Structure 1
Amino acid sequence: MSELDLTMVKRAKKGDEDALYQLITSHKEQLYRMAISYLKNEDDAIEAIQETTYRAYKGIKKLRKNEYFTTWLIRILLNYCHDEIKKKKRVIYSDRLLHSMEAPEKNSSIETEDAIHSLNEPYRNVIMLKYLHDLKISEIAEILECPEGTVKTWLHKGLGLLRSQLKEKEGDFHV
């Protein structure tokens, strides 16, 4: 984190709303990409960013280490996304199913996406953060607040589970 960003975080923690707004604005594209990859809907992604902004505004004074502002902000977003996914888990997207039946050439990407979302939370998070958001193992460990070794284990196990799920659906599909 740059010295300017650290100064902005300090100002935000002291109640400077403009500083917090600038910090969040500088992260909005990254937050949007993460939200859309989790929630699969532009309106839901925008809602997630709004809620993340609100929660950051309400909780900025609880941030312990200024240099972890970005990690803290992403964690807020991920927590919100997980809550929303749990709420909507029972909904069946019949239009998506119909679309996949009409476009068989897209089935593999839809099946891969579905397989990723069917994984348990730690495996799903690590795979999405690593491969969809191009984060490093160390960054993922900070976001998930766990050791790097744990992230590597979850990544290895998650990819193994993903491979086996896709092999069952596709025959001999390789990740």
Structure 2
Amino acid sequence: MEQEVKRAQQGDREAFIQLFRRLEPELYSLAKSIVGRDEDCADALQETTLKAYKGITGLRNTAYFKTWLIRILINECNQVLRMRKRTVVMAELPEQTETRGNLTHFVNSRQQDLREAVENLDESLRLVIHLFYYQDLPIKQIASVLKLSEGAVKARLHRARGVLAKQMDWKGESAIEST
């Protein structure tokens, strides 16, 4: 990857496109966890692409390309969220289907509950969970991306796991009581 980054820094558009396409699924997933809506993800990714293309020559250490790109994306997602606060948006209601007695449904339901619980976390906790579990970034890189100490990242991971555990146990108890 570092060779492609160096080629992109020298003006090779194809190298930049290849780099971005390789990381695009991970970037989209991260954007989705921050902003939620597909159209906002597309906006954030587009802005990230433009800023990265224009600024790649300023990247000093090619080994940190992915971290650098993630930082740009997070900033763009935060910008989208700031813009969203200025507009009134109608709430979208999720479709719900109910099938009882099906193990597959139970597993899918628990996964959906976990996804919802992660999405309902405070942004600082949600970001750390997403970068660690979904993007497979090591704590050191997460600390670099979020400009935090490694201890702060570990503390947020611990806090987020605790919140998620409580939410998942509570949902399980309410489901049992309601049957």
TM-score, length of structure 2 as denominator length = 0.72
1:81 aligns with 2:110: no
CA separation of 1:10/1:88 partners in 2, compared to 1, >3 Å: closer, same or farther? same
Name the structure 1 match of 2:119.
Answer: 117
Name the structure 1 match of 2:102.
Answer: none
Structure showing the higher helix proportion among its residues: 1
Matched position secondary structure for 2:60: coil
Instruction: Describe the superposition over 1:3-35 as per-residue Cα deviations: whole angstroms up to 9, x where unpaired.
Output: xx3233233223333332222122222222323
Name the structure 2 match of 1:94.
Answer: 92
Name the structure 2 match of 1:63.
Answer: 59
User: What amino acid does structure 2 have at the position aligned with 1:80?
Assistant: E
TM-score, length of structure 1 as denominator length = 0.73
The correspondence for 2:138, drawn from 136, 139, 154, is 136
CA distance in structure 2 between the partners assigned to 1:37 and 1:49 by the alignment: 13
Instruction: Describe the superposition over 1:111-144 as per-residue Cα deviations: whole angstroms up to 9, x where unpaired.
Output: 5434323333221111112223333323322322
CA distance in structure 1 between the partners assigned to 2:119 and 2:84 by the alignment: 12
Matched position secondary structure for 2:93: helix
Q: Please list, as runs of the form range in 1=range in 2, the aligned pairs for 1:14-53 lying within 5 A after superposition.
A: 14-53=10-49
Gaps of at least 5 residues in structure 2 are 100-104
- Structure with the bigger RCO (C-alpha within 8 Å, sep 6+) is 2
Gaps of at least 5 residues in structure 1 are none
The correspondence for 2:162, drawn from 154, 160, 163, is 160
CA separation of 1:83/1:156 partners in 2, compared to 1, >3 Å: closer, same or farther? same
Retained in 1: the 8 A contact 2:113–2:168?
yes
CA distance in structure 2 between the partners assigned to 1:112 and 1:6 by the alignment: 36
Q: Identity, % of aligned pairs?
A: 38
Structure 1 runs (4+) greater than 6 angstroms displaced: 104-107
User: What amino acid does structure 2 have at the position aligned with 1:66?
Assistant: T
The correspondence for 2:8, drawn from 4, 8, 12, is 12
CA separation of 1:42/1:118 partners in 2, compared to 1, >3 Å: closer, same or farther? closer
How many residues are aligned here? 166
User: What amino acid does structure 2 have at the position aligned with 1:95?
Assistant: L
Shift of residue 52, structure 1, vs aligned partner: 1.3
Matched position secondary structure for 2:89: coil
